[in-house]
Every structure is written in C-alpha cells, then in structure tokens.
C-alpha cells in the first residue's frame, strides 16, 4: 500500500463528465489498496472568470477581497468531486485550505506556504476516506483566506505530499508529460521520460507553465517524487508520464539540451546617454526596486565619450509604471532619453548537458541569424542561455531551435 497525492488541473476537472472520469481514476487507485489524497484546481476558465468579475467592481482589486473571490473556484470542485466519488461508492471528504490548515504568510494573491497540519487528512485516510483538498488556497495566522499565485494548485499538491511523506505526487494535466517545448507551439515536441529538478526549475521560471515554479522548488527541497501525467487518457492505458528527479538518477547520457522555454511576459526599457560613472546602475535600478518591480535581464554597454546606454527587462504588466519611474530618473542622472518596447519575447535553451559541452551558445546564435532574427539581449547561467527577440519571431525561433538541437529526435 502506498500513499499517493494526485493533483488534477483545470482542464481535467473542466466539466461534470471530466470530474466523473477523475473519480473513476481515483477509485481505481483506491481499489489497488492505495491511500489517496486528491488536490484539485478550479474548473477551467473559472479563476479567470472570478478575477474578471472582481475587476468589474474595482479596476485594481483589493488583494484580500480578490483572494476571497478567486479561491471559490476550487471550493466548488472539491464538493463536486467528493460527490462524484460517493456516487461510485468511494468514501470521500472535501477540505478547503483553511480546513486542512494550509498556513501561509499574508501576501495576498502570491502567498507562500509556511506549514501544513496533516493530522485531519491522516485521520480520514486511516478510516478509508479519500481526502479531496482545494488547491491554490490557504489561510494566514489571522484566518484570512490567501491564494498562492496562478497555477498554485501544483504547489499545494507538492506541499501536501511533503507534509504527508507521500510515496509519489502525481500531477495530472492535459498533456501526457513534460515536453521538449510547449507542444501547442511545436507539434514535433517530444515527451521527456525524465528531467532533473534543476532543469525543470529553469524551464518553469523561463516560461514553461506546465508546473508552477514553486512546486518544483518544494519537490526538490523535500525530495518529493514528482510525476506529470495525462488525465485525458483512457483509464488503464495511461503512459508513464515524466518523472522529475535528481541528476544522479538519470542513468543515460544526457542530451546537451533538454528543452526550450519561452515567454511573452516581459518588456524592455532602455536609458540612453547615461553618464558613465560609478553608482549609475544603482541610481537607475534603485527606484525601480523600491517600487517593487522585479528586474530580470540587465545590460550595460561599453561607455564611449563619457556616456553609456543601459537596458533591462521588467514584467510586461509593470511596463507603464517602470517607464514613468525612468522618466523621473532621467532628469536626476542627466540621461538623454528613455525608450521602451513591450513587444519582446524571451527564448531559452535549457540543459544540464551544457556544463560539459561547448558551442551551444554559438549554435543558438547561428540558428537565429540564419532566419534573420535579431538578438536584442543575452543572458546565461550554467544550464541555460536566454535571448530577447522581437515578439513576432517567437514561434519561428522556438521551431528552428527545436530542430537545430535535434529535440524532435529520440536521443541515441
Ligand atoms: P493544468 O490546468 O492541468 O494545471 P496547465 O495549463 O497549467 O494545466 O499546464 C499544462 C499546459 O502546459 C499544456 O497544455 C501545455 O500547453 C503547456 N506547456 C508549456 N510548456 C510545456 C512543456 N514543456 N511540456 C508540456 N506542456 C507544456
Ligand atoms: N485555479 C488557479 C489558477 O487558475 C490555480 C491552478 O489552477 O493551479 O491559477
Ligand atoms: Mg497549471
């Protein structure tokens, strides 16, 4: 007998029929004698609908009230799934985040889990119940409802698996695993048998939203065995999915590149004609940080004639705010001009094999050059290379890089 935590995302619980399918899948694991905790998302589209409703009341919704509203989607699903399970003779009981006591900090809309009280769930499991838990939500010390950021049910599931010391955490979604890149963009993308935590963290943080980044972080830290699988395949015919694991467990020789991630969530700002003197980066980025705006890539050019240009990227949603700040900064530091571009995209190649292979960057740059795609910014880490390009070339860039790195071929 094993203890399994299963998480079903929005599409997997997107209709009454799909919820009944989930119930049958859970029942099949119970029938094999396993204890099962199920973590569910809101039905697909529901969280977006709730947030849009809130915005009809306040253009910039109060974050405490927004969480009160956004968390309700999951509460509907736990009730429905529990009923579906009872309907086929499986004992089940639903839990909101507060009822489990998923304790979080008070950072509404992006709260972090502090602790999980596993006692209630354990008691129910021991009595033969399936515990059906609302993902994405928790409560803070004062009992306020909080949510964990978009895609946060993944993190709920992994955190509960860690707290219960579950044998495996299974993330059921609408694809049958983690692919070399988003299969919606590149049909030739391949499912990976396994991927390291480190690579999955990079992929998630660079835009592959198949798993919320914090869930991967959590799983790595608490050594939770994590697997991504499809909920849409016929019962009994599901494949092995993708195992997220530590590097040493991957026996085969690693391909140089494991995957390609991309996002359209950033915008670029440039301050032109900045006096080239010590402290200038701080004078520009200090006010941006004070306004709580995250800065990602940064480039300062070589100075000439006593001045230089300074570029960086921010979340696209903060573009207007950051531009206004820089207009102020321009006067203070004596810069010539502020320009911005919110039609950019970031494309990244990721792979632990990069540590032992040279020439990855030059191959990436050559491939893009051959398509006439201009690189605006570059950043690298030990296992990834990211470039910023014009958004209109994003899909082309991902496709040609996928081919150039042979990601459509099964590794020998
Ligand atoms: P859920 O609602 O189950 O949480 P998500 O929409 O959050 O599902 O995540 C699944 C989606 O992630 C897939 O439909 C796919 O389009 C997208 N995706 C992006 N990158 C990848 C990748 N590398 N591998 C698999 N899926 C990916
Ligand atoms: N329902 C939430 C969202 O849409 C959480 C999740 O699905 O993981 O972001
Ligand atoms: Mg998701």
Q: Whose CA is nearest to atom 1 of ligand 1?
A: 9
| Environment class of 156 (CB within 10 Å of its CB; exposed 0-12, middle 13-18, buried 19+) | buried
Q: How far is the CA of 380 from the centre of ligand 3 (A)?
A: 26
Q: Across all residues in the chain, what is the average pLDDT?
A: 95
Confidence of residue 157 (pLDDT cuts 50, 70, 90): very high
Residue 209 marked as a ligand binder? yes
Confidence of residue 248 (pLDDT cuts 50, 70, 90): low
Q: Whose CA is nearest to atom 9 of ligand 2?
A: 150
Ligand closest in space to the Cα of 259: 1
pLDDT of amino acid 236: 84
Is the CB of 136 within 6 Å of ligand 1?
no
Confidence of residue 254 (pLDDT cuts 50, 70, 90): low
pTM of the model: 0.93
Confidence of residue 165 (pLDDT cuts 50, 70, 90): very high
pLDDT of amino acid 304: 83
């Amino acid at each position: 007998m094993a203890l399994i935590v299963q998480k079903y995302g929005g599409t997997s619980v997107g209709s009454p029929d799909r919820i009944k399918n989930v119930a049958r899948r859970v029942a099949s694991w119970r029938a094999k004698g396993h204890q099962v905790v199920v973590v569910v998302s809101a039905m697909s589209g529901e969280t977006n609908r709730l947030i849009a409703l809130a915005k009809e009341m306040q253009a910039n919704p109060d974050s405490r009230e927004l969480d009160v509203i956004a968390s309700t989607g999951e509460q509907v699903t736990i009730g429905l799934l529990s009923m579906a399970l009872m309907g086929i003779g499986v004992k089940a009981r639903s839990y909101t985040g507060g009822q489990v006591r998923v304790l979080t900090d008070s950072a509404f809309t992006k709260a972090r889990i502090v602790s999980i009280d596993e006692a209630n769930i354990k008691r129910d499991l021991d009595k033969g119940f399936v515990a059906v838990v609302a993902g994405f939500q928790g409560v803070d010390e004062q009992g306020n409802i909080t949510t964990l950021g978009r895609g946060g049910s993944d993190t709920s599931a992994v955190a509960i698996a860690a707290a219960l010391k579950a044998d495996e955490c299974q993330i059921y979604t609408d694809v049958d695993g983690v692919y070399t890149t988003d299969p919606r963009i590149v049909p030739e993308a391949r499912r990976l048998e396994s991927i390291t935590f480190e690579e999955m963290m990079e992929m998630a943080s660079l835009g592959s939203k198949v798993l919320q980044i914090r869930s991967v972080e959590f799983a790595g830290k608490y050594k939770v065995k994590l697997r991504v699988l499809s909920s849409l395949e016929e019962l009994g015919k599901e494949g092995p999915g993708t195992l997220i694991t530590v590097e040493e467990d991957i026996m085969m020789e690693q391909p140089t590149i494991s995957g390609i991630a991309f996002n359209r969530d950033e915008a670029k700002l440039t301050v032109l004609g900045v006096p080239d003197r010590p402290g200038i980066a701080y004078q520009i980025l200090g006010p941006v940080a004070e306004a709580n705006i995250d800065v990602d890539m940064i480039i300062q050019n070589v100075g000439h004639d006593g001045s230089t240009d300074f570029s960086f990227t921010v979340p696209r949603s903060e573009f207007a705010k950051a531009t206004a700040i820089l207009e102020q900064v321009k006067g203070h530091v004596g810069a010539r001009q502020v320009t911005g571009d919110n039609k950019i995209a970031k494309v990244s190649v990721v792979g632990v094999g990069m540590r032992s292979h040279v020439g990855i960057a030059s191959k990436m740059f050559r491939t893009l050059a051959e398509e006439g795609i201009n690189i605006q910014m570059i950043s690298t880490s030990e296992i990834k290379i990211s470039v910023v390009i014009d958004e209109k070339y994003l899909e082309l860039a991902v496709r040609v890089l996928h081919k150039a790195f042979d990601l459509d071929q099964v590794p020998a």
